[in-house]
Amino acid sequence: MNKVILIGNLTKDPEISTTTNGVSVCRFSLAVTRRYTNSSGEREADFINIVVWRALAENCHKFLRKGSKAAVVGTLQSRAYDATDGTKRYVTEVVADEVEFISTRNTDGVETKKDDEEVTKLEPIDDNDLPF
């Protein structure tokens, strides 16, 4: 069985591209803290490369930003390729089947859209106003 479940923060804004067949692919890296501390008492983090395809890739690019917290479910994939300098390179990454947007980078109630198109202040909801 090959299944990976990660929760972490994006280390930079997601990058999206399109294959020659027109399929969207988004790449980003998650910083995932380890369960234990090092000899200095600090928690270390692993930086895991994530690859997302098709419509989910477009949503990740649209809604995630550097610092966003996300949960990723997918499979671990290793591949090798020849670099331009002639050396063989090895890559291990998670190919995501599911991405849950846990939080945005901003935690002050302000939602920002890509390219700062619009900023909307979210008003708190009174529990008495809910229809259920």
Per-residue pLDDT of the chain (132 residues; tens, 9 = 90+): 999 999 999 999 999 999 999 999 999 999 999 999 999 999 999 999 999 999 999 999 999 999 999 999 999 999 999 999 999 999 999 999 999 999 865 545 444 444 444 444 555 656 666 555
Classify 116 as helix, strand or coil: helix
Q: Rounded to an integer, what is the distance from CA 17 to the centroid of its chain?
A: 15
Q: The domain that contains 77 carries what CATH number?
A: 2.40.50.140
CA distance 92 to 26: 16
- Tell me the one-letter amino acid at 126: D
- Tell me the one-letter amino acid at 69: K
Radius of gyration of the chain (CA): 18
Count of domains forming the chain = 1
User: What digits encode the pLDDT tens for the residues 63-90?
Assistant: 999 999 999 999 999 999 999 999 999 9
Enclosing domain of residue 11: 4-106
Stated pTM of the model: 0.76
